[in-house]
């Protein structure tokens, strides 16, 4: 990858098996810790739990906008 400042994703893990989705999400974690802003649309609860901010939409309207502190794993993944 070319070291982007911003990465936009739409259902990026849809259709991936669990192992591949985990590997992809680990890569996204590393990019995020390196300072890349990752914006992702997803319906997958595991991916939502990884987020530092979650904005929920229903019928095109914001129904929730919450920040969450990322759990520390003792360093960069």
Question: Is 76 a domain residue?
Answer: no
Range of the domain at 61: 6-67
2-14, pLDDT tens digit by residue? 778 999 999 999 9
- The DSSP-derived string for the chain is ----SEEEEESTTTT--HHHHHHHHHHHHHHHHTT-EEEEE---HHHHHT-SEEEEEETTEEEEEEE-PPPP-SS--
Question: Is 35 a domain residue?
Answer: yes
The number of folded domains in the chain is 1
17-68, pLDDT tens digit by residue? 999 999 999 999 999 999 999 999 998 888 888 888 999 999 999 999 998 6
Q: Which tokens sit at 41?
A: 């649309």
Supply the pLDDT for residue 70: 47
Q: Please report which confidence band the pLDDT of residue 69 belongs to, taking 50, 70 and 90 as the band edges.
A: low
Instruction: Quote the CA–CA distance of 72 and 47 in Å, as a whole number.
Output: 16
């Amino acid at each position: 990858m070319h070291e982007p400042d911003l990465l936009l994703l739409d259902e990026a893990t849809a259709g991936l098996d669990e192992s591949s989705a985990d590997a992809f999400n680990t890569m996204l974690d590393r990019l995020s810790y390196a300072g890349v802003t990752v914006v992702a649309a997803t319906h997958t609860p595991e991916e939502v739990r990884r987020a530092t901010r979650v904005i929920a939409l229903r019928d095109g309207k914001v129904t929730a906008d919450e920040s969450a502190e990322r759990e520390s794993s003792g360093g960069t993944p």
